[in-house]
Amino acid sequence: MSQAPRTYITTPIYYANGEPHIGHAYTTLLADTLARYQRQAGADVLFLTGTDEHGQKIQEAAEKRGLSPIELCDEMAARFRNAWKRLDIGHDRFMRTTEADHLAVVGAFLTRLDARGHVYADTYRGWYCVHEERFWTEKDLAVGGLCPTCDRPLREIEEKNYFFRMSHFQGDLVRHIEEHPDWIVPETRRNEVLGFLQKPLSDLSISRPRARVSWGIPLPFDSNQTTYVWVDALINYLTASGAIDPNAAADDQGFDDVAGSRWPADLHIIGKDIVTTHAVYWPTLLMGVGLPLPKRILAHGWWTVGRDKMSKSLGNTVDPLELREEFGTDALRWYLLREMPTGSDASYTPERFLARYDELANVLGNLASRVTSMIVRYREGQVPDGDPGGLDGAIVGTLERFHAAMTALRVHEGLDSAMDLARTVNGYVETSEPWALAKTPSRGGELDAALATLTRALVVISALFFPVMPGKMTELAAGLGLNEVPPLQAAARIVPAGLRVRKVPPLFPKPEAVDT
Ligand code: ME8
């Protein structure tokens, strides 16, 4: 028996010091939608998300609240888990970087990096941004000596650090990117990385003195130093893959055969803010320990609120759970994924949200209610044995467009093609006029064909929209007399005749009547 294809999809692990907002929700929903799409196709998916719990930022946030770091992390990890549960996110593992297996894997990874001669100690002088958890050199600084990314004041630091010989891998990395044009998508981000790599790459500081940053994983070869939080965080992708045995003896580096693990990841989904860490630090670290690189990196765009950056200090962060309360989980999922062209930026406005909601209600919700109520009215709820092929061309064309878009990671285009099919099917209702056919007994055969065609189209629609709106599409499939939404590959082949249909109530009711 051939094995199901395996796919490993990750999101960033979010800092455990902020509330989940629509930016985090978007990344995680994008991963969930792609994971569901792959599962529908029969793949054995590992979908990883989690929280990034070490480092100075967490240490200081906990101090401010009078908590120990782990108390803060416990609270925030629970907050993220709860948000993802409410948004119907079906991750397979929620990684916390304070978990025992991760601590062991980071130790094994760094032991191996050191054993292969890629680590050395030196004095570090530079400017540190606690918010971004990264160093800047003098030439990087923004006007007034501020952080060039977040405009916050920096701290001047001089201390002993261990360094990874990242510079040694610059040529190999450039070659890899040039030989794999799809490794980083979209192309703008790929060009940005190649541009960055035109300058000589410096080595990477991978540790902090414990006296300054105590909340971190001790280095296996110097317990007075803690691992730089970005190195710790990136390794989470390996921990979940099973490529490194956390229970191996300390002197053995614990590297299992990668072939038996989920490594390499098929897709790292990230925001455009963390491209350098994922497309430069991470692959060179992997080259350092001799492990294969992730197969693909998708760096999506940025959500703004109106024209403003979303930030806690501006007090304009959009809470996904509030939107969910008002419009329901699936409407929020639809809005975020349909509104943002995958890879580009998008702006949240309540008006655009409502426009996307109306599209759902008027095109998709309306179609489901209309078709099911006609089958109930004209054929007592049983789909007649007519020719269901009336929309064959539209269905085949849509499936092609949908698969092509999803494979190219252009999720918004996939969703657009699904909505286009719903529009075409509404058009078919208008032109076939089942209500007119029902008045003329001699046209019963035509009515049977129209109703069978419409049912088949709705079954396909339920499968197309399922990855983005699993709850509503399960409701639709139940209304069509199916136990579950069929896999997309099988949906167009389901025989509609004989299905017991009941009238589907409005899937997207007026907001005040929404039941989440
Ligand atoms: O960077 N628009 O965590 P983080 C779109 N812990 N996406 C957004 C967004 C916005 N306005 N704001 C946040 C970290 N995101 C590290 C990651 S991974 C090994 C370690 C999303 O909590 C987007 O995916 O700052 C971005 O990359 C991520 O949240 C940053 O989350």
180-226, pLDDT tens digit by residue? 999 999 999 999 999 999 999 999 999 999 999 999 999 999 999 99
How many whole angstroms from 11 Cα to the centroid of ligand 1?
9
What is the residue type of 180? H
Mean per-residue pLDDT for 14-29?
Answer: 96
- pLDDT score for 248: 78
Q: Identify the residue whose C-alpha is closest to ligand 1 atom 12.
A: 23
- pLDDT score for 300: 98
- pLDDT score for 164: 98
- pLDDT score for 2: 58
Do 251 and 302 form a contact (C-beta atoms < 8 A)?
no
Q: Identify the residue whose C-alpha is closest to ligand 1 atom 23.
A: 271
How many whole angstroms from 35 Cα to the centroid of ligand 1?
19
- pLDDT score for 414: 98
Atom of ligand 1 nearest to the CA of 234: 19
Residues 6+ apart with CB under 8 A from 191: none
Any bridge partners for residue 70, and if so which?
Answer: none
Residue 1 pLDDT grade (very low, low, confident, very high; cuts 50, 70, 90):
very low
- pLDDT score for 4: 85
- pLDDT score for 135: 85
Any bridge partners for residue 135, and if so which?
Answer: 128
pLDDT at 514 over 70: no
Residues 6+ apart with CB under 8 A from 499: 382, 383, 455, 480, 481, 482
Angstrom distances, CA of residue 428 to CA of 308, 398, 432, 449, 451? 43, 15, 6, 12, 11
∠ CA(360), CA(365), CA(366), 5° rounding? Answer: 115
**Neighbour-count burial for 415-438, b at 16+ CB within 10 Å, e otherwise:** bbbbbbbbebbbebbeebebeebb
Minimum mean pLDDT range among 235-249, 264-278, 326-340, 458-472: 235-249
Atom of ligand 1 nearest to the CA of 14: 22
- pLDDT score for 405: 98
pLDDT at 252 over 80: no
How many whole angstroms from 309 Cα to the centroid of ligand 1?
13
Helix spans in 139-185 (H): 170-179
How many whole angstroms from 232 Cα to the centroid of ligand 1?
16
Atom of ligand 1 nearest to the CA of 273: 27
Q: Identify the residue whose C-alpha is closest to ligand 1 atom 29.
A: 24
Residue 506 dihedral angles phi and psi, to the nearest 5°? -50, 125
Q: What is the pLDDT of residues 361-389, one digit of tens each?
A: 999 999 999 999 999 999 999 999 999 99
How many whole angstroms from 274 Cα to the centroid of ligand 1?
7
CA dist 284 and 82 (Å) reads: 35
How many whole angstroms from 130 Cα to the centroid of ligand 1?
15
Q: How large a percentage of the chain has pLDDT more than 90?
A: 89
Residue 247 pLDDT grade (very low, low, confident, very high; cuts 50, 70, 90):
confident
Q: Between the CA atoms of 483, 484, 489 and 494, what dihedral angle is there, to the nearest 10 degrees?
A: 30
**Ligand 1 pocket, mutate which of 129, 274, 342 (most atoms under 8 A from CB):** 274
- pLDDT score for 311: 82
How many whole angstroms from 77 Cα to the centroid of ligand 1?
15
Going across the sheet that includes 155-164, the strands are 134-136, 119-129, 155-164, 204-205
Residue 297 pLDDT grade (very low, low, confident, very high; cuts 50, 70, 90):
very high
Atom of ligand 1 nearest to the CA of 52: 6
CB atoms within 10 A of CB 380: 10
**Ligand 1 pocket, mutate which of 10, 11, 13, 14 (most atoms under 8 A from CB):** 14
Atom of ligand 1 nearest to the CA of 309: 11
CA dist 514 and 324 (Å) reads: 10
Do 13 and 49 form a contact (C-beta atoms < 8 A)?
yes
Residue 67 pLDDT grade (very low, low, confident, very high; cuts 50, 70, 90):
very high
Of 434, 418, 323, 302, the C-alpha closest to 371 is 434
Q: Identify the residue whose C-alpha is closest to ligand 1 atom 18.
A: 12
Residue 251 pLDDT grade (very low, low, confident, very high; cuts 50, 70, 90):
low
Atom of ligand 1 nearest to the CA of 18: 22
- pLDDT score for 259: 85
**Ligand 1 pocket, mutate which of 52, 132, 237 (most atoms under 8 A from CB):** 52
**Ligand 1 pocket, mutate which of 9, 11, 13, 27 (most atoms under 8 A from CB):** 27
pLDDT at 312 over 80: no
Q: What is the pLDDT of residues 34-44, one digit of tens each?
A: 999 999 999 99
CA dist 9 and 46 (Å) reads: 6
How many whole angstroms from 128 Cα to the centroid of ligand 1?
19
Three-state helix/strand/coil letters over 47-106: EEEEEECCCHHHHHHHHHCCCCHHHHHHHHHHHHHHHHHHCCCCCCEEEECCCHHHHHHH
How many whole angstroms from 300 Cα to the centroid of ligand 1?
10
CB atoms within 10 A of CB 211: 10
Atom of ligand 1 nearest to the CA of 236: 19
Domains and CATH numbers, the chain: 6-300 (3.40.50.620), 328-513 (1.10.730.10)
Looking at residue 258, the DSSP 8-state letter turns out to be: G
Atom of ligand 1 nearest to the CA of 12: 18
Q: How large a percentage of the chain has pLDDT more than 70?
A: 98
CA dist 256 and 290 (Å) reads: 12
What is the residue type of 246? P
Pocket of ligand 1 (CB under 6 A): 12-15, 23-24, 26-27, 52, 233-234, 236, 270-271, 273-274, 302-303, 310
- pLDDT score for 250: 65
- pLDDT score for 33: 98
Residue 313 pLDDT grade (very low, low, confident, very high; cuts 50, 70, 90):
confident
Cα diameter, the chain: 91
